[in-house]
Structure formats: structure tokens, C-alpha cells
Amino acid sequence: MYRNSPRSLAEGSIFEQRTLETERGRASRQPTITVVVPAKNEADNLRAVLPTLPPVHEVILVDGDSTDGTVEVARQVMPDIKVVKQTRKGKGNALACGFKAATGDIIVMFDADGSADAREIPAYVDALINGADFAKGSRFIRGGGSDDITLLRHVGATGLHVLVNLTFGQRFSDLCYGYNAFWTELVPALGLPDIDAPVPPGEMIWGDGFEIETVINLRMVGAGVQIREVPSIERPRIHGESNLRTFKDGFRVLRTIVSERQRATALRRRGATVLTTTTAPAEQVRRPSISA
């Protein structure tokens, strides 16, 4: 685990302003877990994926106007699943809708296509209850890997995370990976677009697309929280084709890096703080009842 580099933080970051009330809140109860699953036309995949999830406080399916029976299948497989309709298009908007609906202490971001291994969830939770604020999945550290990434995507991903490390003074090994977990109280620090904001026809609000993983990573950096990378193995999609477009979405990520650097600089100049929170010592928090 590492603390964000001071050069990337606004003066008086939230890391320096931990509140006793939140510390006591985390320490006084067994943390509950919300799994947020964005999905659009993933019915076949959900039949295989949902039964693998461990017992948690709630699973939220965020549906993007599916036409293949995604919602119906999800309810058949998991009758108590919570279904939320996303308000616009894009994975970023889907996640924002899921985050807003979450009632657990911890949010786990989980893809519906089978690429995420549910057996890794306890490792993410362990990282959080042992002091991290943000547990960031990585395919490129020891214990991680990918059965799906192409050489072109690997080269691009490497270049992007190296650029972020140089620009933000970080030590990320993987930037563009969507399997992450964090304390729900940090959602305001992300400053994601309002899920009810209108969008002109044919356009997309910045942060609503596949750049969302980079936005989340860099805003956690800007918030000054404790980040721990967790090794993760990316599995191949079970059914269907990915909506990810290597060059188009790669440029969106590059644009995100530039805009987030500008945002962090502006916050630092204003001496702004985003959120006040705390991390309970690991020994004060009981492990959640979650099976591997």
C-alpha cells in the first residue's frame, strides 16, 4: 500500500483531515458489501456470473436499456438482486447510478461479462479492512494476469500508466482496469457527473464513457486516499463482443489524463479539499462474512 505523492495532492488533502467520527463508524460495525454490476445485453453472461458471487449485503444490476432479457434473467438467477436503470448511456453513467444506489459500507465494481473472477472479492475487501481506502485491481503485478488482453492493448495500457506515474508521481502498475473496490463514503470525492444531468442528443457527458476507470483512479489520487493494488486475473468474456474500442477509448483515456492533471492543479492552487474521511486501524474492523 502506498500514500499518494504530495506533488499530486491539494494542500490540506483529505488524507490529512481524517475525522474521528468516521473512524469510529468503520470500526464499530462489520462492513457490508455492495457489488455494482453494470450491464447492457449481458443475459447469457449473467446466467454464469451471478451464481459465482459470494453472499453480500446487496448486488446492484445497473441496466443500460437491454433488449435481450438481461433484467429478467438476473432476477431469475438472483431473485433479491436490486435493479437500477441507468439514466444515460455509457459505463461511467452506469457506475455512477450504481454508486448512488449503494447502501453497503464497501462498493465492489464488477463487470457482467465474465472477465472478473468473483473469488477475488475477498482480497479486495481484505485490503480495505486492513487500512486501504481504495483497492485497485492490477493485471500487471505478481499474482495478476490477463487471458483476454491483446498485445496492442497491453502496449497501450503500459504507455498510459507510465504517463500517469510520471505526471502524477504515482506507482501504478495498471491504469485501465475496472475491477476495483472502495469505501462507499468516498463516492463524493469522485465528483462524477450528476446522473440526472441532461445531455444533448447524440453527445456524451465526460465521465460517462470507458474513461471512467481512469477518472476514478486519478480522483482517488487527487483526494489523497490510501491506495493498495490487488493482483487480479482478467478472464475472457464468456459470450458476445466487448463494446471497448481500442483507439477511440484509448484517446478518451489520454484526454482524461490531461484534464485530470489540470483539475488537480486547480484544486491545489485553491487549497481545496474534496472530502473528509478516515481509515480505521485494521485490527479494529471485523472481517465481513464473505466466502472465497
Question: Looking at residue 204, what is its pLDDT?
Answer: 87
How far, in whole angstroms, is CA 250 from its chain's centroid? 18
Half-sphere exposure of 104 (CA within 13 A, CB side): 25
* Residues ≥6 apart with Cβ < 8 Å to 28: none
Residue 290: the pLDDT is 44
* pLDDT score, position 255: 78
Out of 32-41, 147-156, 267-276, least confident range? 267-276
CA distance 70 to 81: 12
Question: Is the per-residue pLDDT at 123 higher than 90?
Answer: yes
Residues 260 and 214 sit within 8 Å (Cβ to Cβ): yes
pLDDT in the model for residue 278:
33
More confident residue, 107 or 279: 107
SS3 state at 44: helix
| pLDDT of 284 higher than 50 | no
Confirm whether pTM is higher than 0.85: no
Rounded to whole angstroms, how far apart are CA atoms 114 and 236? Answer: 7
pLDDT bracket for residue 281 (50, 70, 90): very low
What nine digits make up the cell of 162? 507510465
Convert the pLDDT of each residue in 37-62 to its tens digit: 999 999 999 999 999 999 999 999 99
Alpha-helical regions (H) of the chain: 20-27, 43-49, 70-77, 91-101, 121-129, 151-168, 187-190, 212-223, 246-270
Q: Which of 154, 160, 136 is nearest to 253 (CA)?
A: 160
Classify residue 133 by its DSSP letter: S
Residue 229 to residue 179: CA distance in whole angstroms: 11
What local confidence, expressed as pLDDT, does residue 24 receive?
A: 43
Grid cell in block for residue 76:
431469475
Q: Tell which wins on pLDDT, 280 or 142.
A: 142
Give the span between the Cα atoms of 19 and 57, in whole angstroms.
25
42-46, 136-140, 146-150: lowest mean pLDDT where? 146-150
Asked if the model's pLDDT at residue 213 lies above 60, the reply is yes
**Residue 218: is its pLDDT beyond 50?**
yes
Q: Looking at residue 160, what is its pLDDT?
A: 67
pLDDT tens digits for range 108-121: 999 999 999 999 99
The answer to whether 222 touches 9, Cβ cutoff 8 Å, is: yes
Q: 117-149 burial, b for 16+ CB within 10 Å, e for fewer?
A: bbebbbbbbbbbbbebbbbbbbbbeeebbbebb
- Contact 238/45 with Cβ under 8 angstroms? yes
DSSP H or E run through 202: none
Q: How many percent of the chain have pLDDT more than 70? A: 68
- Check pLDDT > 70 for residue 89: yes
* Residue pLDDT, tens place only, 220-273: 988 889 999 999 999 998 986 655 555 565 567 777 776 776 676 666 666 654
So what's the pLDDT on residue 84? 98
Q: Hey, which residues does 61 pair with through a beta bridge?
A: 37, 83
pLDDT at position 248, please?
A: 62
Give the range among 26-35, 74-83, 96-105 with minimum mean pLDDT: 26-35
